[in-house]
Structure 1
Amino acid sequence: MARPSRKDDILQAALACFSEHGVDATTIEMIRDRSGASIGSLYHHFGNKERIIAALYLEGVSGYARLVEEGFARADNAEACIKTLVACYIDWVAAHPEWARFILHSRGRVEASEMGEQLREANRLHHGRIDDFLRPHREAGAFRQMPRDVFVSVVLGPAQDFSRHWLAGRTRSDLADCRELFMDVAWEAVRAQ
């Protein structure tokens, strides 16, 4: 396995600082100390704290997107595609709870930042790839009729809502233990009757 880059070290240090102290209370100096990077390296890679926040957010959501694409490559029918979306979401959140909490609480900040357009473009590309994978199944009539902008919310909404509660420590059930249930619920919600 390749050694993480200096940029990755800085992002992981930032995530640890944000998790421990909160985004607003974390300083560039705290991130520099935690990562062992020079201040020059930190500014070279990111420029400022807001760019670190945006880069960390974008890297997190791209990790989920990569899981989805890998899963779709193995999915051979409509049901498998829908269940892949849910499984990848739950797997990523369960494997990266601190990152998931950060993403949950930082979206608005990133959208409003100078990196907001980059986030919107990444989301547009990700949703476009999902739509491309699902198009043949949609055209074959595998899914119930609903507006496209509602579809992914119907598929992921229950898993995302439960994940928020799980990340906040408000659930008795473990997220990973509910994976199959949420996959089945998503398929039942969108399959053609």
Structure 2
Amino acid sequence: MARRSRKDEILQAALACFTEHGVDATTIEMIRDHSGASIGSLYHHFGNKERIIAALYLEGTEQYAQLLADGFASAKDARDCVRLLVTSYIDWVVANPDWARFILHSRGRVEASERADDLREANRRHYQRILEALAEYRAKGVFRELPIDCFASLVIGPTHDFARNWLAGRTQSDLGACRELFAESAWQSVRSV
């Protein structure tokens, strides 16, 4: 297994500090102490805490986007693609619950930061990949007619809502155990009859 880069070590230390102390209460010094990085290294890679927050957010969302891209490359049909949108999300959240909580609570902060344009561009690329993966099936009429923004909400909305509640400890069912239920429900909600 490859050794983590110093940048990745700092990001993981920041996540641990944010999880334990909260984003607002975490200081650069706490992140430095937890990561073992010098203050110079921290500032070299990120500059300040807000940039660490944005980098951690963008790295997490990129991991999910990469899971999707890898899955789309081997998807056999429209059903596989739609189910993949859900299963990749669930798999990433279950494997990274602290990171997922951080992302759910930090979007507004990143949108208001100097990295807001980076976030918008990452989201644009992510949604473009999804649209491209589904375009052939949409053209063939595999999906029922609905506005594209409704399509995305129908597919991932219920899963996202349940994941938020699961991450907050407000569900009796385990998110991973509901993986197939949400994936198949997403497919049933958008397929043409």
Settle same-fold status: TM greater than 0.5.
Answer: yes
Residue equivalent to 2:52 = 52
CA-atom RMSD, angstroms?
Answer: 0.5
Residue equivalent to 2:164 = 164
Residue type matched to 1:186 in 2? A
Query: What does residue range 36-185 of structure 1 map to in structure 2 within 5 Å?
Result: 36-185=36-185
Residue type matched to 2:115 in 1? M
Residue type matched to 1:126 in 2? H
The CA deviation at 1:151 is 1.3
Deviation string for 1:18-44 (max 9, x for gaps)?
000000000000000000000000000
Helix, strand or coil for the counterpart of 1:24?
coil
The CA deviation at 1:152 is 1.2
The CA deviation at 1:63 is 0.3
C-alpha distance in structure 2 between counterparts of 1:38 and 1:106, whole Å? 26
Residue type matched to 2:144 in 1? R
C-alpha distance in structure 2 between counterparts of 1:75 and 1:86, whole Å? 13
Runs (4 or more) in structure 1 with deviation over 3 Å come to none
More deviation, 62-71/142-151: 142-151
Calculate percent identity across the aligned residue pairs.
68
Residue equivalent to 2:8 = 8
Residue type matched to 1:81 in 2? C
C-alpha distance in structure 2 between counterparts of 1:49 and 1:108, whole Å? 15
* Aligned pairs, number: 193
C-alpha distance in structure 2 between counterparts of 1:185 and 1:62, whole Å? 25
The CA deviation at 1:76 is 1.0
Residue type matched to 1:13 in 2? A
Residue type matched to 1:105 in 2? H
Deviation string for 1:99-122 (max 9, x for gaps)?
000000000000010001100000
TM-score by length of 1: 0.99
Helix, strand or coil for the counterpart of 1:188?
helix
The CA deviation at 1:192 is 0.5
Residue segments in structure 2 that go unaligned for 5+ positions in a row = none
